Structure 1
């Protein structure tokens, strides 16, 4: 059991609490204005030790930036694109707001106020992503014995709105594919196989079985801040995916050209197709032209994965 002692300071009488940590080493905390305040603090310490919730105050005085970087470095099992998103949220939002704040000084009300402010300038989805980074860093501090609880838990987050899914017709898929010229097979392949961009452009000739019209999805590639990062498919699950006979001629053609490059789909220079470049140079101009020339109109499509159908869907989606 600890003790409370009075002492004199320049500001008058103050009280010091002496107590033992769970490892039986002695420490103290001073500066209490009244004996009751000191006794209440001692009671809190003893209760937290009995519950196994005691946290060394010295370990709680680190800056959020230190904890956040340690949390980020620990995320070794997530996809490269996910890590890139974490880095972006840290650098743009979390660290500018909280980086220099001691984690012990962060409280629930301030986090809630910050989230409310973010939601006025960011989408609900982006706000939630930023929140998850801060909450994850504070949860890491709890696991590391620096905080007793995560003050970012149970924050009110903006509601996600569900937009109606729209689908391209088969005719619209083929019109879009034809408009992309040499890339028509890739567009049709994305539409009718359901592969993600990073999975499709990572395919190697050995992954394709044209006789049985199936592809083995074994890897994916992502453009992370200008660097190509190879990894596993999303959710880390390899799978076998069929494609329709209408792709036979195009797939055989790409396979013939790709055997010397070790890729099925690649740039004229033989390099990996980067989604941003393809979207800007090929996809967006093709969609814009169809929107201008199609008599019946053409949906607004924001990226190449927008032509990917859900399982067993008779038509193909367009995200607006």
Structure 2
């Protein structure tokens, strides 16, 4: 179909048809490609306006977070081909690209800090190295028990060497949660799925370990601003939107404190005047 013949009603019907047998995320991505193409047509003056804009899209359902326990995390790490990486993801909340892009020089062993200043993302089988999401560097603390493991990994390495190298010293590819078709790919890229199965843990992805990191931080007494800085969110509001359920205890604490204040200042006074 010529771009000049595309109508908004046709785009709306196409989106509805796609939604019949595909998930909301897939539909939104496909729509995004079409809308971008038509934006270019507007820029080239092939169209006066983009007929895809303003189309109603399906709403993505919010997937409930899976929070692992300390025991589950350590069981997965023990069963894993990359145990220290699993522990870092679950206790420091790094994104996959941030973790595999780490170089030895990014670890401050004395202060127990990780300097997150680059992100290695795989696009079409090729790794693109850039800045972290949001283009902001951050410093993330790591627990004391990780220091010895990280020191062993970095032993005899130079400052520019990767902390978690993959095949032939290249960037480590993100593992598959579901099995691959051929045995060679399964052996190389399905180590995380195998570790989950051996540990008897719920099916999660490496990215889901960020949720567990957030839950560990909150349970350890971290406030929302500290969790925001650790995870590299753009604002504390974003952290609250994503992890509001983790701060339910804080809400209860507010209610309990209000109850105490009322009891001290109002109820006590009432009884005194009785």
How many aligned residue pairs are there?
A: 207
Conserved? CA contact 1:219–1:230, under 8 Å: yes
User: Is residue 170 of structure 2 the alignment partner of residue 271 of structure 1?
Assistant: yes
Q: Which has the higher strand share?
A: 1
Confirm whether residue 124 of structure 1 aligns to residue 24 of structure 2. Answer: yes
Q: TM-score, normalised by structure 2?
A: 0.70
Match of 2:233 in 1: none
Distance in 2 between residues matched to 1:111 and 1:269, nearest whole Å: 47
Deviations 1:232-267 (A, max 9, x none): 212222221111111011111112143277111113
2:189 to 257, 275, 280: 280
Q: Distance in 2 between matches of 1:289 and 1:150?
A: 51
CA distance in 2 between counterparts of 1:268 and 1:234 reads 25
Q: Larger RCO: Structure 1 or Structure 2 (Cα < 8 Å, ≥ 6 residues apart)?
A: 2
Question: Which structure has greater helix proportion?
Answer: 2
* CA distance in 2: counterparts of 1:264 and 1:257, whole angstroms: 11
Asked if the contact 1:279–1:304 (Cα under 8 Å) also holds between the matched residues in 2, the reply is: no
Among candidates 208, 212, 229, match of residue 306 of structure 1: 208
Query: Does structure 2 conserve the Cα–Cα contact (< 8 Å) formed by 1:261 and 1:270?
Result: no
Question: Match of 2:144?
Answer: 245
Alignment match, 1:215: 114
1:189 and 2:88 matched: yes
Structure 2 gaps, min length 5: 176-184, 221-274
Which of the pair has more CA radius of gyration? 1
Q: Name the counterpart of 1:66.
A: none
CA RMSD, aligned part only?
2.1
Deviations along 1:284-305, one digit per CA (max 9) or x if unpaired, are 11111222xxxxxx3122x212
With normalisation by structure 1, the TM-score equals: 0.60
The alignment partner of 1:240 has SS state of strand
Q: Quote the Cα distance in structure 1 between the aligned partners of 2:135 and 2:4.
A: 37
Contact 1:258/1:265 (<8 A) preserved: no
Q: Which residue of 2 aligns with 1:201?
A: 100
Q: Could you list the runs of 5+ residues in structure 1 that have no partner in the other structure?
A: 1-100, 292-297, 316-320
CA change 1:257–1:266 in 2 (3 A) is: farther
User: Does the alignment pair 1:225 with 2:130?
Assistant: no
Q: Could you tell me how far apart the structure 2 residues matched to 1:206 and 1:227 are?
A: 24
Q: Deviations over 1:262-283 (max 9, x none)?
A: 1111137423211146883311
**Which of residues 3, 12, 22 in structure 2 aligns to 1:112?**
12
**Structure 1 residues 245-254 or 139-148, which shifts more?**
139-148
